[in-house]
């Protein structure tokens, strides 16, 4: 039987992040400009499978996706304990820079979604010279809590069920059910407390106030794309962010919080022109 092979290859490597060793898993495909993709809170790099399989993108870009520590196939650190994971802004920046330096990537493009869409703003503030461009999917400068996130990690509630239930609603009703299911499935497979731990960054530690004004788009071009069905980072919030930076945002029809995995076909219509500009 002939199988349909994908062009993706996966690898493990040991990276020192803030002085501690982490076993990180990443996947990549294509060649050319490095495009590092950051997954959402509580999920993993599988969200970017469509990009890793998109022939048009792979002609010009080396698409690289790593699973954050504690996520997907990446390990927790030595002596880790369940319940003590909490993503801080500093640790998030450190892991991204360690990964980029470890792979010796020169001026990569970094694209992140949700928490990834927030951290690219911190990267733009702190290291504008290090990147060719930054792409924020579902970016907002801050997010006030709108539901009690303690439900995401309780021993009397199945974490996979509740995290999946939360993720499902963030997607557009128009996105294909099979893609929505897989996006939800990634959430259902997360470790206990990991989604909640990531949200510490998203809803508290990573909130940006006036610092947004420090972003200089002339030093590093920034592109912001947000799905219309996202109620976590709404198009209105991305628009406010874009106005402060002085750039246009792109509102994507018929997608929600996970454009790259809930409806890749629709998402790529918006992403291709952005990547053409960057290349």
Partner 1 sequence: MFKSLIDNNEKRSQLSIMAQYLNTSFMISTIENEYLVNIEKGVVKNVEEGPFVMPSYVFKLTAPKNEWIKFLQHIPEPGSHDIIAMLRRKVLKFEGDLHPLMSHLLYFKLLLASLRPAESKNEN
Which residues form the interface with partner 1 (CB under 8 A)? Answer: 146-147, 151, 156-158, 161-162, 164-166, 168-170, 172-174, 184, 228-232, 234
**From CA 89, how far away is CA 109, in angstroms rounded?**
20
Q: Which residue has the tokens 């592109």?
A: 223
**Residue 66 or 187 with smaller CB distance to partner 1:** 187
- CB-nearer residue toward partner 1: 181 or 200: 181
Who's near 137: CB < 8 A, 6+ residues apart? 111, 112, 113, 114, 116, 117, 225, 226, 259, 260
DSSP 211: G
For the bound state, the minimum distance from the C-beta of residue 57 to partner 1, rounded and expressed in Å, comes to: 27
Kindly state the tokens that stand for 143.
């997010």
Instruction: List the alpha helices (DSSP H) in 131-228.
Output: 159-169, 177-188, 194-200
Q: Smallest distance, Å, CB 74 to partner 1?
A: 26
- Count of alpha carbons within 13 angstroms of residue 275, beta-carbon side: 25
Q: How far is the CB of 115 from partner 1 (least distance, A)?
A: 17
Query: At its nearest, how many Å lie between partner 1 and the CB of residue 217?
Result: 27
Q: Which is nearer to partner 1, 95 or 234 (CB)?
A: 234
Q: Which is nearer to partner 1, 168 or 200 (CB)?
A: 168
Cα of first residue to Cα of last residue in the chain, in angstroms, is 39
Answer positive or negative: Cα dihedral of 175, 177, 179, 182.
Answer: positive
Output the smallest distance, CB 241 to partner 1, in A.
18
Q: Which is nearer to partner 1, 74 or 234 (CB)?
A: 234
């Amino acid at each position: 039987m002939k199988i349909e092979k994908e062009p993706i290859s996966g690898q493990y490597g040991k990276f020192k992040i803030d002085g501690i060793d982490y076993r990180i898993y990443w996947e990549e495909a294509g060649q050319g400009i490095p495009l590092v993709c950051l997954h959402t809170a509580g999920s993993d790099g599988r969200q970017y499978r469509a990009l890793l399989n998109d022939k048009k993108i792979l002609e010009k870009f080396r698409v690289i996706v790593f699973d954050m520590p504690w996520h997907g196939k990446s390990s927790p650190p030595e002596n880790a304990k369940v319940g003590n994971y909490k993503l801080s802004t500093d640790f998030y920046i450190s892991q991204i820079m360690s990964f980029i330096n470890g792979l010796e990537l020169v001026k990569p493009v970094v694209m992140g979604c949700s928490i990834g869409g927030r951290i690219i703003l911190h990267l733009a503030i702190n290291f504008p010279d290090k990147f060719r461009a930054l792409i924020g999917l579902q970016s907002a400068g801050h997010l006030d809590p709108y539901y009690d996130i303690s439900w995401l990690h309780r021993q009397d509630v199945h974490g996979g069920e509740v995290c999946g239930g939360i993720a499902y609603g963030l997607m557009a009703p128009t996105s294909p059910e099979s893609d929505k299911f897989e996006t939800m499935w990634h959430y259902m497979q997360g470790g206990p407390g990991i989604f909640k731990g990531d949200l510490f960054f998203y809803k508290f530690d990573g909130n940006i106030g006036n610092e947004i004004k420090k972003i200089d788009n002339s030093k590093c071009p920034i592109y912001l794309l947000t799905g219309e069905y996202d109620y976590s980072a709404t198009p209105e919030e991305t628009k406010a962010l874009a106005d402060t930076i002085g750039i246009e945002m792109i509102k994507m029809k018929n997608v929600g919080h996970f454009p790259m995995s809930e409806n890749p076909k629709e998402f790529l219509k918006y992403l291709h022109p952005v990547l053409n500009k960057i290349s």
